[in-house]
Amino acid sequence: MTKAIPITASINWSKDTVYFVTRQKDNAAWQPAGEYDIAVSVDPGDIKYEQIILTIDGQSIRLRRIAYYNASQDRTYIFRINNHRLAPDKIAEIFKNRWQIESMFKRLKQNFPLKYFLADFQNAI
């Protein structure tokens, strides 16, 4: 299960040029800021590509919102990303790879539970 990124973290990450890809929740509030045409060379699963603005507590962040249809699962995924240069099909690929990493960590935690771990630094695991 993915964790939601707080809007304040998203704003700070964007200022520091740290990029993220996340799925959009069904109840997310946002405002459209422009829609883009999808190039012919892009994966046919990309069905919508737009720019949006999220505003919370007076702070705004400009993101891209991409709807991607996965034909093998017959499901539409909606992604939000703060990188405005990547192609929409690459964003779907990044999220797919990210999800594979999350699933691998979940399996590792279930199969090899760590009760104690000694390390010299805070981010050992």
Model confidence pLDDT, tens digit, residues 40-63 = 555 666 677 788 888 777 778 888
Q: Which amino acid, one-letter code, is at 58?
A: G
Domain-embedded: residue 26: yes
Domain-embedded: residue 71: yes
Domain-embedded: residue 121: no
Domains identified in the chain, total number: 1
Domain-embedded: residue 1: no
Stretch 83-88: mean pLDDT: 82
* Closest by Cα among 35, 29, 34 to 48: 35
Domain-embedded: residue 94: yes
Domain-embedded: residue 25: yes
Residue 3: is its pLDDT beyond 70?
Answer: no
| 3-class secondary structure, 77 | strand
Q: Which amino acid, one-letter code, is at 2?
A: T
Residue 64: is its pLDDT beyond 80?
Answer: yes
Domain-embedded: residue 125: no
Domain-embedded: residue 120: no
